[in-house]
């Protein structure tokens, strides 16, 4: 099987437009805005797009990576650690497709 092309990170505007399009056919009052956002995230991830990363919690390493359905997970190691990023369930390096390295600020 050919190597998968890197996924494209969507801008906040692109993702908002995708959610608006979904909300135009499934009213948030019927499904819930969060559920619609999750459906859009998973559907777009499947075809090569990553939803914008959330603000990272500054209490741990701020590295982020999309999981296997496109939902962001944050590293739970101490800030500034020098091994692979870890959540217990997920382990990755900064060169993983879609990964956002820890901020150094
Ligand atoms: Zn980390």
The model scores a pTM over 0.85: yes
Q: Looking at the domain assignment, is residue 34 inside a domain? A: yes
Q: Looking at the domain assignment, is residue 2 inside a domain? A: no
Enumerate residues 6+ apart whose C-beta is below 8 A from 87: 73, 74, 75, 76
Q: What is the Å distance from ligand 1's center to 90 Cα? A: 11
pLDDT over threshold 60, residue 1: no
Number of compact structural domains in the chain: 2
Q: Are residues 59 and 105 in the same domain?
A: yes
Q: Are residues 58 and 84 in the same domain?
A: yes
Dihedral sign, Cα of residue 20, residue 50, residue 73, residue 94: negative
- Using DSSP, state whether 47 is helix, strand or coil: coil
Q: Looking at the domain assignment, is residue 3 inside a domain? A: no
Q: Domain range holding 27?
A: 8-50
Q: What is the Å distance from ligand 1's center to 78 Cα? A: 7
Q: Which contacts (CB < 8 Å, 24+ apart) does range 17-26 have?
A: 18/44
Contact call for residues 64 and 80 (beta carbons, < 8 A): no
Q: Are residues 27 and 63 in the same domain?
A: no
List, for residues 49-86, the tens digit of each pLDDT value: 999 999 999 999 999 999 999 999 999 999 999 889 99
Q: Looking at the domain assignment, is residue 1 inside a domain? A: no
Q: What is the Å distance from ligand 1's center to 37 Cα? A: 26
């Amino acid at each position: 099987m050919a190597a998968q092309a890197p996924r494209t990170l969507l801008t906040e505007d692109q993702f908002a437009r995708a959610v608006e399009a979904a909300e135009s056919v499934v009213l948030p009052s019927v499904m819930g805005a969060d559920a619609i956002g999750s459906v859009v995230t998973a559907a777009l991830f499947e075809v090569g797009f990553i939803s914008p990363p959330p603000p990272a919690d500054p209490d741990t390493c701020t590295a982020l990576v999309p999981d296997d359905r496109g939902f962001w997970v944050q590293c739970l190691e101490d800030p500034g650690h020098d091994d692979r990023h870890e959540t217990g369930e997920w382990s990755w390096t900064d060169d993983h497709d879609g990964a956002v390295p820890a901020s150094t600020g």
